[in-house]
Amino acid sequence: MTSVNVELNDRSYAIAIGEHLLRSPAAFAPLARGDKVMIVTNPTVAGFYLDTVTRTLTSLGCEVSNVQLPDGEKFKTLDSLNLIFTALLEQKHARDTTVLALGGGVIGDVAGFAAASFQRGVRLIQVPTTLLSQVDSSVGGKTAVNHPLGKNMIGAFYQPAKVVIDTTTLSTLPMREVCAGLAEVIKYGAILDYAFFCWLEQNIDKLLALEPATLAYCIQRCCELKAMVVANDEKEHGQRALLNLGHTFGHAIETHLGYGNWLHGEAVAAGMMMATALSHRLGNICQNDVSRLERLLARANLPTVSPDGMTADDYLPLMMRDKKVLKGQLRLVLLKQLGQAYVSALNDIDSVKAAINDCSQFD
């Protein structure tokens, strides 16, 4: 087991990374005898891992109950949030309880928001079981639910007390979900770490094959990069916005198509190409680097073009609802070069439309 620390003064916490951690009582510190725990999961994940986690927590002397939410992005809603509150109240949980999120990004976001809200905040432990949630969404304290008019529009910043990453859970993950997680992995190299991007070019096939040592290094490096950014800018006033490369375009795709039709990582991959095409049009990243990013995403079996039939005019109204819009001005994460990103406020909507068209299937 290796550990990466997120340094936030008195709210600092550890990310434990290793194999078979769901069976390890030590991995779940600070839980201890007498603690009451509500596991939030879904039926798919529960079928694989709920009994294992329940046995491990029971061996610690914890009192364990669970609530299972419907599976899928389309259920990342206020209704699902209320299911958690109802379960907590029916089981007589109090302010000293712990909410444990067992699942992917949807479970982590909804359970995290529930923990932030229930009795004005209870302890949260994230146990991510997808690659995307292990490398990104479980770390850093972003919690939210979706609204029909926009993704992640209702939520809170709320840090976990611990993140437990059991890499063996990826063996039960559908390959499409593995690929979707690789979009966020590739993002880290593109925005923050050119050496890591080069490493990904050399090792993407091993990651797709879930080669254990390669996977462990990849997850650890992504967590180190995320931890560094969160420690410097917890509530996204500056550097943390860089983690949203491709997300403004990608969230528009998810909202337009209906949540869950494209996976989040798939939409982000296409969005990264649009942001990169725009960066190139604005005179920043060179064409060779644009092509390298496109090749790497394609090797990871990720889309590099817009969904069929979705036009630039479909994107813009949705993008203008993005959380990074300030005073009516669109702000996007762009690339100077591979490994170096920046946030730009844009009035040049024609260039944004042109970049979307650069990545359209009819182009």
Active site residues: 120, 142, 184, 226, 236, 240, 244, 247, 251, 264
H/E stretch holding 17 reads strand 13-18
Whether 304 contacts 273, CB under 8 Å: yes
- In a 13 Å sphere around the CA of 188, the CA atoms on its Cβ side amount to 24
Transcribe 41-100 into DSSP letters. Answer: E-HHHIIIIIHHHHHHHHHTT-EEEEEEPPSSGGG-SHHHHHHHHHHHHHTT--TT-EEE
| Residue among 259, 213, 348 at smallest CA distance from 70 | 259
Six-digit token pair at 226? 């995320």
CA distances from 24 to 37, 208, 348, 359 (A): 16, 27, 53, 46
CA distance 72 to 131: 16
